[in-house]
Structure 1
Amino acid sequence: MDKIPASIEMTIRKFIEEAGQSHRIKSAYLYGSYAKGVASKWSDIDIAVILTDYSDDLFEERVSLMRIAAQIDDRIEPYPFLEETFAANNPLANEIQKHGIRIV
């Protein structure tokens, strides 16, 4: 994670640590402007969160992750994927795997 500011890296790691207490996280990726090295002070911190399983409602998982994110830094935008979906031929997942930075 060489190309992102240390303060952003600490924020990301804190989010993953907190989210991991209530979610089964297999891996996580930073994607978007921070991963591309073109972030501005207004940029979101886009994080793909790959879950080994989730409740019956992926939307509720996202809401739960967003609540955790809001307590840490309101720029964090978590996007949950089920492990199988992230491995499948999903255009967003493919982009994240190709250009994102693996955090966990």
Structure 2
Amino acid sequence: MDQEKVLNIAKEYAAAVRKVVDATAIFLYGSYAKGTATKDSDIDIAVVVDKIPGDYLNTMTTLWRLTRSVNHDIEPVLLTAADDESGFLNTVQKTGIAV
């Protein structure tokens, strides 16, 4: 898939997510953001929230269900800035594309 098509998919997914989750930011990250995607690459999307609304697993289930209506190659992750001890969110913010 070309970069422009993936970016449009990411934007469509972000719009769907924002209808059900109070996201502070949503990023396309990984190989498509870096320009290193192959035919087998998935579409990595990070959903950033101040606080996870309710139960983490329920929210992740919601994010996965939304992929069905947009594109099955989307691989969502749910992140909170306050709980990012690993620095993963920082990497996503530096190398990803806000959508």
Using the size of structure 2 for normalisation, the TM-score is 0.86
Counterpart mapping for 1:1-104 below 5 A:
5-85=3-83, 88-103=84-99
Percent of pairs with identical residues: 29
Letter of the aligned partner of 1:78 in structure 2?
Answer: P
Letter of the aligned partner of 2:75 in structure 1?
Answer: E
C-alpha change, 1:91 and 1:52, in structure 2 (3 Å) is: closer
Cα deviation digits, residues 22-79 of structure 1 (max 9, x gap): 1101101111111110101221100110123333321221111010012210010110
C-alpha change, 1:25 and 1:89, in structure 2 (3 Å) is: same
Unaligned runs of 5+ in 1: none
After the TM superposition, list the runs of 4 or more consecutive aligned residues in structure 1 that deviate by more than 6 angstroms.
none
Matches of 1:28 and 1:34 in 2, distance apart?
Answer: 14
Letter of the aligned partner of 1:101 in structure 2?
Answer: I
- How many corresponding residue pairs? 98
Contact in 1 for aligned 2:67/2:74 (Cα 8 Å): yes
Contact in 2 for aligned 1:32/1:46 (Cα 8 Å): yes
Letter of the aligned partner of 1:98 in structure 2?
Answer: K
Matches of 2:43 and 2:77 in 1, distance apart?
Answer: 11
Matches of 2:30 and 2:77 in 1, distance apart?
Answer: 12
Structure 1 window deviating more from structure 2 (38-47 vs 90-99): it is 90-99
Letter of the aligned partner of 1:61 in structure 2?
Answer: T
Using the size of structure 1 for normalisation, the TM-score is 0.82
